[in-house]
């Protein structure tokens, strides 16, 4: 139980995976610290003893878990920083590889345009370039050509076949159309920096790399430093040879141009006058002076570019030094945190020992499980703990001094890098003017002059064509005017015909409107007469029904009187039986007659209802027909109005056109 809460962390799974070199050194330097075993007070049973032991174990485990969690958090932060740094290194390597391959391809394309293609088979093959990344990798850049750069060509064959000036001009035009590699690619490399803020750790993940980029990175991981250095030396040698060859070809072209100028000057001197000779000589001298000035400017630009590259290299080296110092500072911080954790543990144990010493803590042999009576704290161990604590404090102070020193160096390196960046930004205007575009404009001047002469001839031809086109256009205008006059005459005749038809249509419309009004008036006069007739018929039918009811009532009264007469006869005497038979027969007849009368009344009522329903249906149909006729009349009138308005509009438009023409 004494080793459960010890100050020395075991080298198993609980210890954090720190830097390997420093970890081995510190494992050799670490000293073992002996902790006094914890005494348990008197207990009555084994259960209480187990409870106290478990409490102590849980306490120690909590301390170790807290330390483990803090170390895991620190290691996670370090892992994330290292991953980001690795990502930035990968991006810089991919960008360098991309632009290098693009430079080689552009150089070889220039060589293709300048030198003949027949000698391509006799040249040696260039070293294979590393797999390049696609434009989807980290930064959206122009993707280089996929073709393999052609091999360098010998100089002798290039000199024998480039003899004609027209071929030289075509080659120079092709040279001007070749895409140049992007300038100042080092600035792109320096701009990719790892994020310094710890809050951006939870940002979005970087875009996935392409297959070419993954292959490039895997090859870098698998190959050794010697293989990479040899490969890079081969590529550098090939690039230098290709560029030197291009420079030689351009020198040869300039010398040939000079020879041609001299030959032309000699040929012209035989025929032209002295003034032309002087003018040609002055122009040739001016050309030589301008060419020398251009060469001087090119040399200055080359010198400035070399200085610029040196400054960029210094900046990159300063940045690498800064990153190395940052890693050293992080390692020292990790060591300090480790020492602080150890110091905290020792302070805890020291406080517990001091409390036990003050309280005069003691225990019996039976309670502590040790034979020998009372056991007190060993003073020698306490002194060793104090000595170790002082040693750790001195070590921490020395590490703190080293950290401060490294911090000062880091600040100086940052200042130096900022100064170098400012020097890079404040480049003089002459260097800015001497860019690739400016050189392209200078080289295109001669071509543009020749093109201007061709444009002048084309302008004369265009003027002649313009005169012919003007004459043809005037003739066409005369034909169009004659056609327009004939069309105006036709339009006038059509307008007169349309006016006549419009007058006829208006007359027909007036006649139809008068007929419609007459029909409407007749229908309005017949309406009240029909209503009066319907009211009269309904009143007569009601009167007939009342009369029928009166007739039925009188019949009933007659039957009742006959019944009373028969009863009186029955009471009178002898013929009672006969009278009863007659009365019964009369009652049956009366009932039959009543039933028949009721049926007749019901039939009459039904017939009356049918007649009324028919009349209502007829009235509804008549009203519907009237409404339909009205709607038809309205539609006809609307259509006629629309037609009239359309014709009028058309006539007005045609008249306006005729007037304008």
pLDDT tens per residue, range 224-250: 777 878 878 887 888 888 888 878 888
Query: Cα separation of 63 and 67, whole Å?
Result: 6
Other Cβ atoms less than 10 A from the Cβ of 39: the count is: 16
Q: Of 248, 271, 294, which residue is a domain's last?
A: 271
Tell whether 350 is covered by a domain.
no
Tell whether 617 is covered by a domain.
yes
Query: Cα separation of 176 and 182, whole Å?
Result: 15
- Domain interval for residue 640: 440-660
Q: Which of 119, 71, 126 is nearest to 338 (CA)?
A: 71
Q: Of 230, 249, 271, which residue is a domain's last?
A: 271
Tell whether 203 is covered by a domain.
no
CB 413 within 8 A of CB 321: yes
Query: Cα separation of 179 and 108, whole Å?
Result: 12
pLDDT digits (tens, 9 = 90+) for 537-586: 888 888 888 888 888 888 888 989 989 898 898 888 655 555 555 556 66
Q: Which uninterrupted H or E stretch holds 471?
A: helix 436-572
pLDDT over 50 (residue 655): yes
Q: What is the CA radius of gyration of the chain?
A: 61
Task: Of 86-100, 120-134, 386-400, give the lowest mean pLDDT range.
Answer: 120-134
pTM: 0.30
What is the four-CA torsion angle of 557, 560, 561, 566, rounded to 10 degrees?
160
Span 212-224, average pLDDT: 72
Cβ neighbors of 5 (< 8 A, separation 6 or more) are 35, 56, 59, 60, 63, 349
DSSP assignment of 334-362: HHHHHHHHHHHHHHHHHHHHHHHHHHT--
pLDDT over 60 (residue 41): yes
Query: Cα separation of 175 and 67, whole Å?
Result: 68
**Interior/surface letters 9-38, b for 16+ CB within 10 angstroms, e for the rest:** beeeeeebebeeeebeeeeeeeeebebbeb
Q: Of 240, 271, 302, which residue is a domain's last?
A: 271
H-state helical runs in 360-378: 365-368
Q: Which uninterrupted H or E stretch holds 76?
A: helix 46-114
What is the four-CA torsion angle of 274, 279, 281, 286, rounded to 10 degrees?
170
**Interior/surface letters 203-223, b for 16+ CB within 10 angstroms, e for the rest:** eeeeeebbebbeebbeeeeee
Tell whether 13 is covered by a domain.
no
Query: Cα separation of 74 and 66, whole Å?
Result: 13
Tell whether 242 is covered by a domain.
yes
Domain count, the chain: 2
pLDDT over 60 (residue 361): no
CB 315 within 8 A of CB 417: yes
Task: Out of 115-124, 212-221, 357-366, 547-556, give the one with best mean pLDDT.
Answer: 547-556
Tell whether 334 is covered by a domain.
no
Per-residue confidence band for 115, with pLDDT thresholds at 50, 70 and 90: low
Q: Please, what is the average pLDDT of the chain?
A: 72
- Tell me, rounded to whole angstroms, the distance of Cα 622 from its chain centroid: 71
> Which letter does DSSP use for residue 273 in this model?
-
pLDDT digits (tens, 9 = 90+) for 533-549: 888 888 888 888 888 88
Task: Out of 17-31, 175-189, 284-298, 558-572, give the one with best mean pLDDT.
Answer: 558-572
CB 90 within 8 A of CB 113: no
Q: What is the 3-state secondary structure (H, E, C) of 185-237?
A: HHHHHHHCCCCCCHHHHHCCCCCCCCHHHHHHHHHHHHCCHHHHHHHHHHHHH
Tell whether 408 is covered by a domain.
no
- With 0-12 / 13-18 / 19 or more C-beta atoms within 10 angstroms meaning exposed / middle / buried, residue 249 is buried
What is the four-CA torsion angle of 394, 400, 401, 407, rounded to 10 degrees?
170
pLDDT over 80 (residue 203): no
pLDDT over 60 (residue 180): no
Q: What percent of the chain has pLDDT over 70?
A: 69
The confidence score (pLDDT) of residue 244 equals 83
Tell whether 120 is covered by a domain.
yes
């Amino acid at each position: 139980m004494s080793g459960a809460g010890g100050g020395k962390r075991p080298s198993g799974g609980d210890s954090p995976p720190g830097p390997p070199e420093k970890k081995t050194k510190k494992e050799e330097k670490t000293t073992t610290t002996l902790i006094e075993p914890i005494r348990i007070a008197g207990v009555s049973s084994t259960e209480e003893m187990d409870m106290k032991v478990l409490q102590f174990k849980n306490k120690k485990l909590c301390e170790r878990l807290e330390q483990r969690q803090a170390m895991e958090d620190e290691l996670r932060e370090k892992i994330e920083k290292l991953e980001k740094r690795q990502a930035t290194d990968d991006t810089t390597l991919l960008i360098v590889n991309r632009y290098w391959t693009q430079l080689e391809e552009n150089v070889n394309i220039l060589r293709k345009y300048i030198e003949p293609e027949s000698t391509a088979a006799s040249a040696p093959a260039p070293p294979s370039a590393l797999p390049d990344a696609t434009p989807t990798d980290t930064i959206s850049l122009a993707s280089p050509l996929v073709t393999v750069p052609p091999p360098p060509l010998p100089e002798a064959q290039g000199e024998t076949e480039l003899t004609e000036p027209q071929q030289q001009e075509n080659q120079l035009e092709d040279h001007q159309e070749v895409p140049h590699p992007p300038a100042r690619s080092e600035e792109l490399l320096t701009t990719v920096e790892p994020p310094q803020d710890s809050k951006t750790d939870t940002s979005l993940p970087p875009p996935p790399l392409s297959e070419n980029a993954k292959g490039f990175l895997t090859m870098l991981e698998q190959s050794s430093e010697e293989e990479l250095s040899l490969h890079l030396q081969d590529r550098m040698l090939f690039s230098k040879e290709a560029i030197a060859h291009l420079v030689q070809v351009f020198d040869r072209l300039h010398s040939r141009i000079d020879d041609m100028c001299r030959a032309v000057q000699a040929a012209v001197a035989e025929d032209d006058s002295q003034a032309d000779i002087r003018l040609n000589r002055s122009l040739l001298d001016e050309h030589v002076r301008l060419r020398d000035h251009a060469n001087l400017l090119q040399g200055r630009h080359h010198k400035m570019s070399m200085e610029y590259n040196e400054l960029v290299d210094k900046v990159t080296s300063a940045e690498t030094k800064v990153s190395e110092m940052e890693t050293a500072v992080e390692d020292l911080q990790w060591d300090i945190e480790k020492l602080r954790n150890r110091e905290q543990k020792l302070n805890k144990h020291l406080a517990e020992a001091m409390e036990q010493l003050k309280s005069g803590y003691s225990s019996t042999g039976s309670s502590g499980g040790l034979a020998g009576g009372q056991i007190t704290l060993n003073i020698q161990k306490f002194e060793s703990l104090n000595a170790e604590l002082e040693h750790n404090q001195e070590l921490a102070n020395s590490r703190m001094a080293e950290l401060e020193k490294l911090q000062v160096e880091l600040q100086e390196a940052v200042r130096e890098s900022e100064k170098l960046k400012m020097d890079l930004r404040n480049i003089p205007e002459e260097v800015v003017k001497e860019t690739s575009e400016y050189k392209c404009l200078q080289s295109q001047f001669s071509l543009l002059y020749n093109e201007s002469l061709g444009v002048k001839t084309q302008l004369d031809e265009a003027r002649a064509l313009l005169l012919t086109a003007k004459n043809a256009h005037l003739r066409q205008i005369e034909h169009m005017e004659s056609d327009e006059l004939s069309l105006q005459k036709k339009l006038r005749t059509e307008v007169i015909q349309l006016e006549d038809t419009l007058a006829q249509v208006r007359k027909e419309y007036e006649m139809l409107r008068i007929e419609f009004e007459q029909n409407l008036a007749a229908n309005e006069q017949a309406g009240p007469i029909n209503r009066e007739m319907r009211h009269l018929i309904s009143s007569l039918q009601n009167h007939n029904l009342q009369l029928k009811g009166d007739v039925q009532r009188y019949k009933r009264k007659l039957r009742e009187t006959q019944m009373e007469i028969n009863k009186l006869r029955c009471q009178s005497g002898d013929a009672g039986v006969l009278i009863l038979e007659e009365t019964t027969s009369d009652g049956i007849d009366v009932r039959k007659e009543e039933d028949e009368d009721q049926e007749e009344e019901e039939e009459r009522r039904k017939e009356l209802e049918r007649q009324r329903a028919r009349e209502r249906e007829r009235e509804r149909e008549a009203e519907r027909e009237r409404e339909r006729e009205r709607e038809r009349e309205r539609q006809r009138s609307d259509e006629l109005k629309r037609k009239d308005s359309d014709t009028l509009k058309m006539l007005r438009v045609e008249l306006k056109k005729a007037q304008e023409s």
